[in-house]
Amino acid sequence: MKMKHLFAYTAAAALFAGTAFAMDTHPVTGEKLAENQELTYRLMDQFPTLDPQLNEETVGFHVIRDIFEGLISQDENGDLIPGVATEWTPSNENKTWTFTLRQDAKWSNGDPVTAHDFVYAWKRAADPATGSPYSWYVEITQIENAGAIVAGDADPDTLGARAVDDYTLEVNLDSPLPYFPNMTTYATLFPVHQETVEAHGAEWTSPENIVSNGAFMLDELVLNEFHTRVKNPMYWDADNVILEKVTGLVINDHNQALTRYLAGELDYMDDLPPGQFPNLQAEYPDEAFVTPRLCSYYYAFNFTDSGNPALQDVRVRQALSYAIDRQVIVDNVLKGGQWPAYNFAHRATAGFEMPTIEYSTWTQAEKDAKAKELITEAGYGIGGEPLTLKLIYNTSESHRQIATVISQMWKQKLGVETTLENMEWKTYLEIRANQEFDVARSAWCGDYNEASTFLDLLTTTHGANDGKYSNERVDELMAASKTSMDPQAAYTEVEQILAEEMAIAPIYHYTQAFMKKPDIKGWPLNNVENNWYSKNHYRVASE
């Protein structure tokens, strides 16, 4: 017994010494590395799950990306780089995708990562028995039969993904999807270790059970307090992973998190307290950063009968949108470098050329004049029929400020009254989904980095189209864009239609402001989805 321990310690010491020696300087940049290669960051909320197939939110996805590895990963610009797959090729006019897997990828227990693991995971994501809230994601990847499996009409084994051999994965799609590889970077399509999942049921992701294939392994987890992940020695590229340990602390309160960051307890935090970014940037110029973030903020109009009938009139919707001084909201309320928005899809979306929307080129005075003219023409506002709109938003300081500012703009410029109603998140979702509003605060974050993730939302049947906007041409264009090799023309036309009809009032495009200690390097500053992989981070020695 003693001998065994002694051996283990010696082996561990040798391994550690070896690593420390190898990692004196950064292999690529040659920077001198610090002895302490631990990183601590802040989580705004406890992640609900680390099961890749059940995950549906970003806090958990940040962890899942570290402890699991999909076919394809992203680099610091969000471009695709090999993960478990080294090559991917389309055939059959983009209806078949073949992935070649690396042969040195291993699970944390030493088992090889094979194409079968992916097939198992994908079937699991679609299987009704799994009850995944993200099973729709498998459907939108167009993998053959996914829809029927989710609906319970077909056996999960009929899914169009098959392991040709251990290291070749062939995926057949119902219809061609040029950006299918992009979609494999999301957690839903990450592999899982079948034996582990089947042996432990719902608790297979707990630190004592989990088997994973990423650069890090889950080590400790205490809900609502913290978790740690440590370097995975079995990872195929472990030699180039510099951080030894990543700790995530759950800190709900933004101000509390900032205090702890300033006290040196955190190396990284995003979701800064609202409005604080300019001060922080002035005081800590080498620690405060801002990058684009793939989300758009907008006000949805209710197009159904339950909404105010005035909203059926395009002139009213235009007047309301024109009267919003977006620059004021961005500069004086948000103060985080956000962009005023006149179109829906975020400007930084990959491969998307943001069309010039006509009214975005007008000055605010011109917009206001036009707005007054339109509302008068429609017979409402000052001198016309009084118009009162119910504006709903979920409880939050910045939503409240924006709603207050906009309702003031509407009142002063157009004579339109607003009743503001705030409600907690779930109630707000229910009210919004039942169209019990006239105008609803809304926002959408891209599920993947492609413009359709935004523009699909305004098609008739989309689950988040809560204003129930519907336009045949938009539906048609978006359906056609799926199979087109160059969908930009369709996207431009859709955006122009949305702007003309004022399907929504876009307000701003998000940024991500964050604080990072200067000795932490390798953070992606240009990944609009904020997809960071701890395997790229390292701490440099202080001079």
Partner 1 sequence: MSSFIIRRLLIAIPVLLILIVATFLLMYAAPGGPFTSERALPPEVMANIEAKYGLNQPLYVQIWKYVVGVVTQFDFGPSYIYKDQDVNDIIAQGFPVTLTYGFWSFVVAVVVGVSLGVTAAIRHNTWLDYLAVGVSVGAQVLPNFVMAPILVLIFTLWLGWLPGGGWQGGQWEFIIMPVIALSTSFMASIARITRSSMLEVLNANFIRTARAKGLPAHTVIWRHALKPTMLPVISYLGPAFVGMITGSVVIDIYFSTGGIGQFFVNSALNRDYGVMMGVTILTGALTVLFNLVVDVLYAWIDPRIRY
The footprint of partner 1 (CB under 8 A) covers 46, 48-51, 54, 56, 128-133, 135-136, 139, 150-152, 202-206, 222-226, 249-253, 255-256, 259-260, 262-263, 265, 424-427, 429-431, 433, 444, 462-464, 466
Question: How would you classify residue 530: left for phi > 0, otherwise alpha for psi between -120 and 50, otherwise beta?
Answer: left
CB closer to partner 1, 194 vs 376: 194
Tell me the C-alpha to C-alpha distance, in Å, between residue 151 and each of 124, 136, 139, 188, 244: 14, 10, 10, 18, 43
CB closer to partner 1, 382 vs 429: 429
Q: Are 538 and 243 in contact (CB under 8 A)?
A: yes
Closest separation between CB of residue 58 and partner 1, Å? Answer: 13
Provide the β-strand partners of residue 101: 85
CB closer to partner 1, 57 vs 111: 57
CB closer to partner 1, 131 vs 285: 131
Q: Are 468 and 435 in contact (CB under 8 A)?
A: yes
Which residues make Cβ contacts (< 8 Å) with residue 378, sequence separation at least 6? 310, 313, 315, 316, 319, 384
Closest to 249 in 3D by CA, of 272, 219, 226: 226
DSSP state, 332?
I
CB closer to partner 1, 47 vs 120: 47
Closest to 377 in 3D by CA, of 322, 317, 316: 316
Closest separation between CB of residue 505 and partner 1, Å? Answer: 18
Concatenating the DSSP letter of every residue in 139-188 gives HHTTBTTHHHHHTTSS-GGGSSEEEEETTEEEEEBSS--TTHHHHTTSGG
CB closer to partner 1, 110 vs 131: 131
CB closer to partner 1, 93 vs 430: 430
Closest separation between CB of residue 129 and partner 1, Å? Answer: 7
- What's the CA gap between 485 and 382, in Å, rounded? 49
Based on its alpha-carbon atoms, the radius of gyration of the chain, rounded to whole angstroms, reads: 25
One-letter identity of residue 129: A
Closest separation between CB of residue 128 and partner 1, Å? Answer: 4
Tell me the C-alpha to C-alpha distance, in Å, between residue 169 and each of 89, 160, 161, 246, 365: 11, 11, 7, 32, 58
Closest to 402 in 3D by CA, of 275, 272, 317: 275
CB closer to partner 1, 261 vs 301: 261
Closest separation between CB of residue 205 and partner 1, Å? Answer: 5
CB closer to partner 1, 212 vs 492: 212
Which residues make Cβ contacts (< 8 Å) with residue 83, sequence separation at least 6? 69, 70, 71, 72, 73, 185
CB closer to partner 1, 212 vs 407: 212
CB closer to partner 1, 30 vs 131: 131
Q: Are 137 and 186 in contact (CB under 8 A)?
A: yes
Closest separation between CB of residue 12 and partner 1, Å? Answer: 24
Write down the residue that tokens 């940037």 correspond to: 281
Structural tokens at position 133: 């809230």
- What's the CA gap between 82 and 89, in Å, rounded? 13
CB closer to partner 1, 190 vs 204: 204
CA torsion, ordered 151, 203, 47, 161, to nearest 10 deg: -40
**Cα 43 from chain centroid?**
15
- What's the CA gap between 226 and 218, in Å, rounded? 11
